[in-house]
Structure 1
Amino acid sequence: MGNILTVTLNPAIDVRYNVENMRLGEVNRTKYIEKNAGGKGINVSRVITQLGGNVLATGIVGGFTGKLFLSKLNLDNIKNDFLETNYETRTCIAVIDNNIKGVTEFLESAEGTPEDYQKFIEKYTSLLDNGVDIVCGSGSLLKGIGKDAYNILIAEANKRGIKFILDTSGESLVKGIEEKPFLIKPNQEELEDITGKKFNNVNELVDTAKEIINSGVENVMITLGGDGALLINKDVVYKATFPPVKIKNTVGSGDSTIAGIAYGLSVNKSLEDSFRLGIACGTTNAMMDKTGSIDQEVLEEILPKIKIEKL
């Protein structure tokens, strides 16, 4: 089994409020509240841990919320080695009301410095040299560090023959593509944002993905919400679909998908089977109340129902 390193450069304390009949401009009382260590890479780490994989979480944290964040990781039995700074780790709030379609989110921003990032690079390269097979870099970046922050991480992994899976958006995705990661995972909206195109069908998505592949990225995975996902490389185009399920909380489903793919690759599953596992993990997460989490029994029920076809 290979070793997986997750990188979360803008972690958070994720707070989930369950309410009934939320009213703007009025007092709303919660029916349930939950606080977890959050950030896209943390969701990836949690699901890989639940799958039984070898995963270490790293990134940058700070302040009192940073200490709470690390304590939550430890409670979840997620192995971690983070750079601690003086800047306060952010808090993000998700409000779930069964009477409202979708999840209402409030996302703070957080600060960092170029000096903190340089210290992190030293930690990161040391971790790579201790034996890593796959790196998952996920999420947004701290304010104050460059939009090309993922580029150095990808380059250092590539030097060592380590697969780098990049899940970010906007300018940091555009920059990251330049360093030719093993896999990127935009959704359709994110791909439209970085290309300036509006996609009307799967063929247009595939054509754009192949343009990115021609620039050096090995695999492009495009998530399509309820319509499943595409996985494209120079040899094949896969389309994945999942069965109708009762959706509870879609937050973290993309991260759970990345976790399933990374875990599958780490135990030498084929790319197709890793893709299937990833989609099953993302679907299972959507059926859970907790963000970035799966249930093994549900996963085992869902996995055979994931349909993968070659286009």
Structure 2
Amino acid sequence: MALHHATFLCYILYMLQNKDIPRTEIFTGTSYGLSQIDKSPSFLCVCLNPVIQKTLVFKEIAPGEVNRTANWRIDAAGKGIIPTRILTQLGEKALHLTQLGGPTREWFLSMCAEDNIAIEWVESGAPIRFCTTLIEEAQGHATELVEESLPVAPCTSDALVDRFTSRVKAATAVLLSGTVATGIAPGTMARFARLASEAGARLYLDIKKQDLLECLKFHPVCVKPNLEELAQTLGIPYAEVRDEVPARALVTETGKRFFGEYGTYLVVTRGARPTLYWNGQTLCEEPVQPVAVKNPIGSGDAFGAGVARTLERGGSIDKAVREGTRLGGLNAAQLKPGTILS
């Protein structure tokens, strides 16, 4: 639920006076279960770049003018929060690990509590960044304004690895998602991947560039970049592979290599265009079903949650991609980013 500005300002004044803020909070609550199955998987979802997401809806935006709207909301978001929320809504056990800091930390945690998101965090000293979605209903456009993070404290990376070490023992699956905040030590994602492998947890990656390449040697079950992220990871200009023929060739070549060398499925989303994936034998595609889109933000993360959940419950990669597509569509039909509930 969106908070009024006056309430938020009062809250900030209160928090600035509060010197006894705990460094770890676990929020749990009733999940929205579709079915209960014995020996259910347990997911540890990691993202090191948390977000407070503001969504503003306009009929249309006049550039260079004052644009006002009463239709807006604020949510805890980011590429770790969203799959954790989706998995929780599906009745799964999921815990999110991240870094938090600054005067909006308790506000962020309160929004997680409202959504029954279990979260574990370490103190980073860095304020949580804001990202803003501008939705223009007349044109069907969604414009995303992304803030880069401020630097975290030097001790943050080691503290996160220590906390991950204590939590991965209870996980059957680990999801590593998103970019890392400024100041996170290079190789931190690979440290998580190594620890997950040593603990016997199955690994799922929604990361890119060097972080992705460094984690492949730990044999993730599935890697899920979008097409632009895959091109960035491989050092290929996106313009060279965005069209259908080169896109299919890239996913075929890379998917075959990833599966052959690491036993890893490659699934590549492309927005409204069919998802391409290598099923271990051939290139496959899954069409994206048309939906009445309210907000596309978080649909890729919902997709990834569906893929991981299906594979962890013994489904095939084909079934996993279909389920991911379904959840991505459900998310896009909601104004709130990263939810499948109306």
Q: Return the alpha-carbon distance in structure 1 between the equivalents of residues 298 and 219 of structure 2.
A: 25
Cα RMSD of the aligned pairs, angstroms, is 1.9
Deviation at 1:267, TM superposition (A): 3.0
Q: Which residue of 2 aligns with 1:282?
A: 328
Q: Deviations over 1:100-137 (max 9, x none)?
A: 443112211222134111011111010012x1011111
Q: Tell whether the 8 Å contact from 1:209 to 1:232 is kept in structure 2 after alignment.
A: yes
Distance 1:100 1:113, change over 3 A: farther
Deviation at 1:73, TM superposition (A): 0.4
Q: Return the alpha-carbon distance in structure 1 between the equivalents of residues 167 and 323 of structure 2.
A: 27
The 5 Å alignment of 1:158-307 reads 158-197=197-236, 198-199=240-241, 200-201=244-245, 202-216=248-262, 218-295=264-341
Deviation at 1:96, TM superposition (A): 0.8
Q: Return the alpha-carbon distance in structure 2 between the equivalents of residues 132 and 236 of structure 1.
A: 31
> What secondary structure sits across from 1:25 in the alignment?
coil
Larger Rg: 2
Q: Which residue of 2 aligns with 1:122?
A: 162
Q: Which residue of 2 aligns with 1:82?
A: 121
Distance 1:181 1:114, change over 3 A: farther
> What secondary structure sits across from 1:68 in the alignment?
helix
Distance 1:154 1:292, change over 3 A: same
Deviation at 1:178, TM superposition (A): 4.5
Q: Deviations over 1:253-305 (max 9, x none)?
A: 10000111122233333333222211110121112211111138xxxxxxxxx
Q: Which residue of 2 aligns with 1:73?
A: 112
- Matching residue's letter, 1:208: T
Determine which of 172, 194, 212 is the counterpart of 1:133: 172
Q: Tell whether the 8 Å contact from 1:264 to 1:277 is kept in structure 2 after alignment.
A: yes
Q: Return the alpha-carbon distance in structure 1 between the equivalents of residues 187 and 139 of structure 2.
A: 37
Q: Tell whether the 8 Å contact from 1:43 to 1:292 is kept in structure 2 after alignment.
A: yes
- Alignment gaps of 5+ in structure 1: 297-311
Q: Return the alpha-carbon distance in structure 2 between the equivalents of residues 175 and 20 of structure 1.
A: 44
- Matching residue's letter, 1:182: V
Deviation at 1:34, TM superposition (A): 0.8
Q: Tell whether the 8 Å contact from 1:65 to 1:90 is kept in structure 2 after alignment.
A: no
- Alignment gaps of 5+ in structure 2: 1-39
Q: Return the alpha-carbon distance in structure 1 between the equivalents of residues 88 and 101 of structure 2.
A: 24
Q: Deviations over 1:74-101 (max 9, x none)?
A: 0111111111332211111111111344
Aligned residues between the structures: 295
Q: Tell whether the 8 Å contact from 2:275 to 2:288 is kept in structure 1 after alignment.
A: no
Q: Tell whether the 8 Å contact from 2:252 to 2:282 is kept in structure 1 after alignment.
A: no
Deviation at 1:7, TM superposition (A): 0.6
Q: TM-score of the superposition, structure 2-length normalised?
A: 0.81
Q: Say whether residues 1:105 and 2:144 are aligned partners.
A: yes
> What secondary structure sits across from 1:293 in the alignment?
coil
Moved more, 110-119 or 206-215: 206-215
Q: Deviations over 1:187-244 (max 9, x none)?
A: 1111122223433422342112222334425111111222221232534543211332
Percent identity between the aligned chains? 29
Q: Return the alpha-carbon distance in structure 1 between the equivalents of residues 97 and 321 of structure 2.
A: 24
Moved more, 47-56 or 20-29: 20-29
Deviation at 1:68, TM superposition (A): 1.2
Q: Return the alpha-carbon distance in structure 1 between the equivalents of residues 179 and 316 of structure 2.
A: 29
Q: Return the alpha-carbon distance in structure 2 between the equivalents of residues 293 and 189 of structure 1.
A: 24
- Matching residue's letter, 1:274: A
Moved more, 52-61 or 106-115: 106-115
Determine which of 118, 136, 155 is the counterpart of 2:194: 155
